A and B are shown apart, each in its own frame.
Chain A
Amino acid sequence: MNASRPNPNNEESHSSLSLAVVGLDGTGEAFARAGMLHPAFRLVTVADPRPERGAAVANRLGVPFAPAYLDVLNDPTLDGLIVAGDMADRATILAEAAVRGRAVLATSPPAGTLTRLDDLILTASEGGARVACPNPWRVVPATALAARQLREPGIGQLLAVFAAHRTKQAMGDPLVELGLPLLDYLVGALRAEVVQVQATAETLFATDGPGEPDTWLLLLRFRTGLIATVELGRSLPAAFPTDSELRVEFAGSERVVVADAENLGVTTYAGDGSVRRNASGPDAHRALLDGFLPAVRDAQAPEESLVTLRWVMPLIEAARRSAAEGTPVSLTRR
């Protein structure tokens, strides 16, 4: 590979940390773009288990491409790796990077089952890898701002939560791909415990065979009595106006906060009828790189690691069980 070629878009590359992106789905490409512009990182190369896709992205971005992704994982000159890609690719790459003791920023979700996640945690621990797995909804401006507004006085009694994340992408199981980060975000923002989940799953749009469901409807009951309605969908029709969109609504008795992540905006409807719109903030991928920086530079344990996500897996698995059995499933206290 041509790892020594400097990043032409980064004037401070001489003092920055060397970085590679492995797994070039849409998220991987977005990270590569953010890495190219980040003053503290130097994007050395990109790679993908499917070389033709990786080459196309590399060509589009004008960055070096490594045909064999394992060469990138073995490259001792690299300070850190960003692992993205489709779920199956991502888990494989992540395991390979973890066993090599690399500093990794893994896009969420890192695994589809608790068993698989625990395997990754063990591999990373034994390999001495530092794997950060931050939840993007904690830094995407709209959702981050919405969560902060929940902390502010004035929302009153929380009456209902509605969240829908939909995409045109033909990804893996949306319960994991979309649901794991979203549920982790919601529960974190609400600071409340889910005690029951009811799930309805169906293949409504996908034309790629029977496969896994493309649509999930979840009803979550929290210990506080609050009920959240969550909708997850992949493989939406091509006419869907955006590639992906997330809408989160926190409905309080005094204020309603609506986060529209597609537009990177938050709208707050106050009790007096006034409406306030908040402008968008910094790019989420840039913010995730900022958070990854200390783990790479100072060999620190990441703030959000694989272990951080471990708690949400029982919720995912309870939803699976609910859909399979056609009945709500209770969750025991953590």
Chain B
Amino acid sequence: MSDRVGSGSRLRVGVIGAGTIAVGAHLPAILRLRDSLELVAVADVRAEAAKEAAERFGAAHAYTDTRELLDRSDIDAVVICTPEFLHAEQTLAAAAAGKHVLCEKPMAATVAEADAMLDACQRAGVRLMIGHSRRFTPRYQRIREAIDRGDIGEVRLVRENERRPIAMYTAQAGWAGYWAPDAGGGNARPWLEQAAYSQGAALTNAVHEMDLIRWFVGAEAVSVYAESRITDPNAEVPDFITASIRFANGALGATEVVNRLPPGYPVYHLTEVFGRDGLVRALDPAMATLAVTDPTGTTFPANWGTLLQVPIAYESQLRGFADAIAADGPVPLDPVHARQALALSLAAVRSSREGRVVRLDEGEEDAATPAAAVRRGITGSDGTDPDGVGTEGQ
């Protein structure tokens, strides 16, 4: 346990993983909240990335080994920004070190891992929160508020489609996605596209849609049917998924995610919540605040940060996490929701693989999947990291 978590003093934070989501969202949010947060250290297996992030965002320490960061007594909480296959072992290690944890989505690679994270943090007496940032994005919060006010009556159908341009990740400078644990720091193919490490669109971004649909429906999913597709001949995992979901209260949910749209295409969300009395709808290309019209026509900025209001969402999310720790209260987003969204995404993966409707009460697939086997080879069956790798930024 760290040597103090004091109300009235700043929460001391370490960031694990210095990839795109850390540098683009979490670290800037920490900087903006410097009155209440202090960035102490950054860890990443890429020494240069850790050093650059530390210098840029004002951390005094940079590490290539997560354990060195966790060993520091002057860190109260960690923000885990690594790929999902590392979340469980890093969260367990952080909990064992007495650190509160804000972990990026998806919560883990398997439901069993997610349950282990919940259990470890509860036993250690530390807070765990999963970064489902859209719960903190104003547009989605306004939708939920409309539902809560009863504006549209009982929710019956939710559709949340997302489309991303192909270059969303790869065009960003310093993208860490080409890293993979067995590649010695370099790999010709992004881990997001490798079956050993990723489930593809279902976890990369559809877990967001699953979480939003659950949130808006306000009930647990009962079953899901999904179809997926690998459209990129160089990829090993689907970059497209579409799913139909049944909920316990009789409502339906639906989502379609496509991740290989033209480079200039804006990130696109079609969010529709139909109630018995009305509907709430947000369609990005039609939103005036996102359209730029000049004498030559209308264009839409291919800027996902603006589109999803990332700075606001990540700042709000981090503030809620910090406030909960300072007040010794619950985090603003119960990690069980992230666990359920993960379970739904994984059920969709299983459905698309097996070509059948999958019920959520079937439980998790046998862990002997290719990805699980590879992860066991990397981390060891006890969940430790024998090579000291696994701090790569997401």
Residues of A within 8 A of B (CB): 156-157, 159-160, 162, 164, 198, 200, 202, 204-205, 215, 217, 219, 221, 225-227, 229, 231, 233, 236-237, 239-240, 251-256, 258, 267, 269-277, 326-328
**Pairwise interchain contact A237-B229, C-beta atoms closer than 8 A:** no
Closest to B281 in A: A241
Within the assembled complex, what's the spacing in Å between the Cα atoms of A233 and B254? Answer: 13
**Pairwise interchain contact B262-A269, C-beta atoms closer than 8 A:** yes
**Pairwise interchain contact B356-A327, C-beta atoms closer than 8 A:** yes
Contacting B261 at CB < 8 Å: which of A227, A231, A251?
A251
Contacting B278 at CB < 8 Å: which of A239, A271, A274?
A239
Which residues 243-288 in B have Cβ within 8 Å of A in the complex?
244, 246, 250-252, 254, 256, 258, 260-266, 274-279, 285
* 23 CB-based A-B contacts, threshold 8 Å: A159-B240, A162-B161, A204-B250, A219-B227, A219-B244, A221-B227, A233-B274, A237-B276, A239-B152, A239-B277, A239-B279, A251-B258, A251-B261, A252-B262, A253-B262, A258-B285, A269-B262, A269-B265, A274-B264, A275-B285, A275-B299, A327-B356, A327-B357
User: Chain B residues with Cβ under 8 A from A273's Cβ?
Assistant: 263-265, 299-300, 302
User: Chain B residues with Cβ under 8 A from A233's Cβ?
Assistant: 157, 274
In this assembly, does B153 line the interface, its C-beta being within 8 Å of a C-beta of chain A? yes
In this assembly, does B166 line the interface, its C-beta being within 8 Å of a C-beta of chain A? yes
Within the assembled complex, what's the spacing in Å between the Cα atoms of A328 and B354? Answer: 11
**Pairwise interchain contact A229-B254, C-beta atoms closer than 8 A:** yes
Closest to B265 in A: A269
Q: Smallest CB–CB gap between B279 and chain A, Å?
A: 6
User: Chain A residues with Cβ under 8 A from B250's Cβ?
Assistant: 202, 204
Q: Smallest CB–CB gap between B351 and chain A, Å?
A: 9
User: Chain A residues with Cβ under 8 A from B277's Cβ?
Assistant: 237, 239
Q: Smallest CB–CB gap between B199 and chain A, Å?
A: 17
Per-residue contact bits, chain B 295-307, to A (CB 8 Å; 1 contact, 0 not): 0011110100000
In this assembly, does B242 line the interface, its C-beta being within 8 Å of a C-beta of chain A? yes
User: Chain B residues with Cβ under 8 A from A271's Cβ?
Assistant: 262-265
**Pairwise interchain contact A225-B299, C-beta atoms closer than 8 A:** no
User: Chain A residues with Cβ under 8 A from B186's Cβ?
Assistant: none
In this assembly, does B330 line the interface, its C-beta being within 8 Å of a C-beta of chain A? no
User: Chain B residues with Cβ under 8 A from A164's Cβ?
Assistant: 159
Q: Smallest CB–CB gap between A224 and chain B, Å?
A: 10
In this assembly, does B208 line the interface, its C-beta being within 8 Å of a C-beta of chain A? no
Per-residue contact bits, chain B 318-359, to A (CB 8 Å; 1 contact, 0 not): 000000000000000000000000000000000000011100
User: Chain B residues with Cβ under 8 A from A160's Cβ?
Assistant: 240, 242, 256, 258
In this assembly, does B156 line the interface, its C-beta being within 8 Å of a C-beta of chain A? yes
**Pairwise interchain contact A275-B300, C-beta atoms closer than 8 A:** yes
Which residues 130-175 in B have Cβ within 8 Å of A in the complex?
152-153, 156-157, 159, 161, 163, 166
In this assembly, does B7 line the interface, its C-beta being within 8 Å of a C-beta of chain A? no
User: Chain B residues with Cβ under 8 A from A252's Cβ?
Assistant: 262
**Pairwise interchain contact B264-A200, C-beta atoms closer than 8 A:** no
In this assembly, does B231 line the interface, its C-beta being within 8 Å of a C-beta of chain A? yes
Within the assembled complex, what's the spacing in Å between the Cα atoms of A219 and B277? Answer: 27
Q: Smallest CB–CB gap between A163 and chain B, Å?
A: 11
User: Chain A residues with Cβ under 8 A from B153's Cβ?
Assistant: 237
User: Chain B residues with Cβ under 8 A from A156's Cβ?
Assistant: 262
Within the assembled complex, what's the spacing in Å between the Cα atoms of A171 and B285? Answer: 31
